């Protein structure tokens, strides 16, 4: 195996949290591919040693901030194709390690969770170190080749719940069903996308029932369709919502309390965790929610940019709220308020099938654009992106490139198979500065 094709450990993130007297440190290694690993602990002084086989360490672990964590220092060494990481610990900890499967724009990760009783608070004995059944915990989702991206479309309200009612009698439940069905039919004709409706007629489904349908369908994303009402009849325009942090916290508490109802999270079998004190479970839920909200916000932005061609925007950016239907911790979820049914001219528009079709098209374009940029692994969109990347890797001509949010010169250099220096030189960039929206020229590969 050439070193260049080995999995790489690209980054290390450390998060610290505390509940009651339990200190939890979550270490996330960001990987380019899944890895094989083993670990053991040593005492006097306390250390955790993690060996990762057939991998290259790219992250600078010495620079990771460790303030307030249970870790004193991290040492890392690469011997041939083996990476050894030694964590010097301030006290004895419980250690749990699990590989996390990639999730849309998040890559493979190795998660190490260290828990310890805060010695200053409790005099209770630290529980015996638990053994970890790695075969149970290293759950990698193996997707079938080129599966479809599943989009669950949720028309709001229905049946005994009419939703908002306009001054000319338009009912939200009918309008949003019309938009959702238009979206469903457009999406059905899109290779690589598979739409699923939570309701296809005028009947009632509870909010939790909608979440369950998304889980059953193994949704890659969830989109709820609504039409607002407000006492001020001049209020108008579309809005997009993602879950708020407070909504996420209350849902995490529910997942912990109703353990038996929530056994699977983003491909990880939570019942398979040896985790009597629920710490690992709690960290996994938290990490998943953080990632899912970030993805939902990105999807929301993509939707707003296309909805803005059809309707004015009531909110220019994605709003965050505690809507129940947005609470799936592992399924990016957005709620689109397509317009105000309480505004007579919008009510009129929303009753027009041609207008609904336009809204549905804008939503579809926003969804497609998001998945072109962030294809879930194993999908047709991912295969297309890979092929595009392969072509880029052999490009014989220069390529103009518009800087996006999150781009850095070194990420671009990696992605486009050239050196940072080559990009700097071609574009006359003297420091690291690049600005979102700026267009630079990526040199050809000689």
The binding site for Zn ion (CB under 5 A) comprises 156, 163, 226
Select 31 or 334, whichever has its Cβ closest to Zn ion: 334
Q: How far is the CB of 337 from Zn ion (least distance, A)?
A: 7
Select 99 or 326, whichever has its Cβ closest to Zn ion: 326
Select 163 or 375, whichever has its Cβ closest to Zn ion: 163
Select 210 or 368, whichever has its Cβ closest to Zn ion: 210
Q: How far is the CB of 228 from Zn ion (least distance, A)?
A: 7
Select 93 or 320, whichever has its Cβ closest to Zn ion: 320
∠ CA 439-304-239, nearest 5°, is 150
Q: How far is the CB of 163 from Zn ion (least distance, A)?
A: 4
Contacts of 415 (CB under 8 A, 6+ apart): 389, 392
Select 330 or 347, whichever has its Cβ closest to Zn ion: 347
Q: How far is the CB of 443 from Zn ion (least distance, A)?
A: 51
Tell me the three-class secondary structure of the chain, residue by residue.
Answer: CCHHHCCEEEEEEEEEEEECCEEEEEEEEEECCCCEEEEEEECCCCEEEEEEECCEECCCHHHCCCCCCCEEEEEEEEECCEEEEEEEECCCCEEEEEEECCECCECCEEEEEEEEECCCCCCCCCCCCCCCCHHHHCCCCCCCCCECEEEEEEECCECCECCCECCCCCEHHHHHHHHHHHHHHHHHCCCCEEEEECCCCCCCCCHHHHHHHHHHCCCCEEEEEEEECCCCCCCCCEEEEEECHHHHHHHHHHHHHCHHHCCEECCEEHHHCCCCCCHHHHHHHHHHHHHHHHHHHHHHHHHHHHHCCCCCECCCCCEEECCHHHCCCCCCEEEEEEEECCCHHHHHHHCCHHHHHHHHHHHHHHHHHHHHHCCCCCEHHHHHHHHHHHHHHCCCCCEEEECCCCCCHHHHHHHCCCCHHHHHHHHCCCCCCCCCCCEEEECCCC
Select 194 or 226, whichever has its Cβ closest to Zn ion: 226
Q: How far is the CB of 183 from Zn ion (least distance, A)?
A: 16
Q: How far is the CB of 308 from Zn ion (least distance, A)?
A: 21
- Residue in this structure with the two tokens 């353990």, named with its chain if needed: 259
Give the residue at shortest CB distance from Zn ion: 226
Q: How far is the CB of 182 from Zn ion (least distance, A)?
A: 17
Residue pair 301/334 in contact by the 8 Å Cβ criterion: no
∠ CA 394-395-401, nearest 5°, is 130
Q: How far is the CB of 324 from Zn ion (least distance, A)?
A: 12
Contacts of 12 (CB under 8 A, 6+ apart): 27, 28, 29, 30, 59, 61, 64, 74
Q: How far is the CB of 316 from Zn ion (least distance, A)?
A: 21
Select 157 or 194, whichever has its Cβ closest to Zn ion: 157
Select 156 or 376, whichever has its Cβ closest to Zn ion: 156
Select 7 or 163, whichever has its Cβ closest to Zn ion: 163
Q: How far is the CB of 95 from Zn ion (least distance, A)?
A: 46
Q: How far is the CB of 179 from Zn ion (least distance, A)?
A: 12
Rg over alpha carbons for the chain, rounded to the nearest Å, is 24
Select 39 or 230, whichever has its Cβ closest to Zn ion: 230
- Residue in this structure with the two tokens 């092929």, named with its chain if needed: 387
């Amino acid at each position: 195996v050439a070193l260049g094709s080995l999995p790489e450990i690209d980054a290390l993130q450390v998060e610290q949290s505390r509940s009651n007297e339990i200190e939890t440190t979550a270490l996330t290694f960001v990987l380019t591919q899944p890895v094989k690993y083993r670990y053991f602990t040593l005492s006097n002084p306390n250390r955790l040693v993690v060996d990762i086989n057939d991998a290259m360490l790219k992250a600078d672990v010495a620079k990771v901030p460790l303030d307030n964590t249970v870790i004193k220092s991290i040492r890392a060494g690469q011997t041939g194709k083996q990476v050894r990481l030694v964590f010097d610990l301030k006290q004895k900890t419980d250690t749990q390690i699990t590989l996390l499967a990639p999730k849309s724009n998040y890559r493979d990760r190795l998660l190490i969770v260290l828990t310890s009783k805060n010695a200053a608070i409790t005099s209770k004995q630290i529980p015996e170190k638990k053994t970890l059944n790695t075969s149970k915990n290293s759950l990698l989702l193996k997707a079938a080749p080129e599966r479809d991206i599943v989009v669950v479309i949720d028309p709001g309200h229905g049946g005994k719940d009419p939703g908002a009612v306009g001054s000319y009698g338009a009912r939200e439940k009918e309008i949003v069903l019309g938009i959702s069905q238009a979206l469903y039919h457009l999406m059905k004709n899109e290779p690589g996308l598979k739409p699923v409706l939570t309701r296809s007629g005028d009947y009632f489904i509870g909010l939790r029932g909608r979440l369950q349908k998304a889980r059953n369908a193994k949704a890659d994303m969830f989109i709820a369709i609504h039409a607002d009402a407000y006492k001020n009849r001049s209020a108008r325009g579309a809005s997009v919502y993602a879950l708020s942090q407070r909504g996420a916290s209350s849902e995490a508490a529910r997942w912990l309390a109703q353990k038996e109802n929530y056994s699977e999270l983003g491909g990880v079998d939570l019942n398979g965790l040896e985790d009597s004190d629920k710490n690992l479970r709690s960290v996994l839920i938290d990490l998943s929610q953080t990632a899912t909200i970030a993805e939902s916000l990105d999807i929301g932005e993509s939707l707003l940019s296309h909805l803005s061609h059809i309707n004015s925007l009531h909110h220019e950016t994605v709003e965050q709220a505690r809507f129940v239907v947005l609470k799936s911790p592992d399924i990016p979820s957005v709620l689109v308020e397509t317009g105000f049914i309480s505004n007579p001219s919008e009510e009129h528009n929303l009753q027009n099938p041609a207008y609904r079709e336009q809204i549905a098209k804008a939503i579809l374009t926003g969804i497609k654009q998001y998945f072109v940029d962030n294809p879930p692994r194993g999908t047709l969109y991912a295969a297309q992106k890979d092929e595009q990347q392969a072509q880029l890797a052999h490009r014989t001509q220069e390529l103009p490139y518009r800087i996006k949010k999150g781009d850095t010169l070194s990420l671009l250099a990696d992605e486009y198979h050239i050196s940072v220096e080559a990009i700097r030189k071609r574009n006359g960039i003297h420091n690291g500065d690049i600005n979102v929206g700026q267009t630079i020229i990526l040199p050809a590969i000689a």
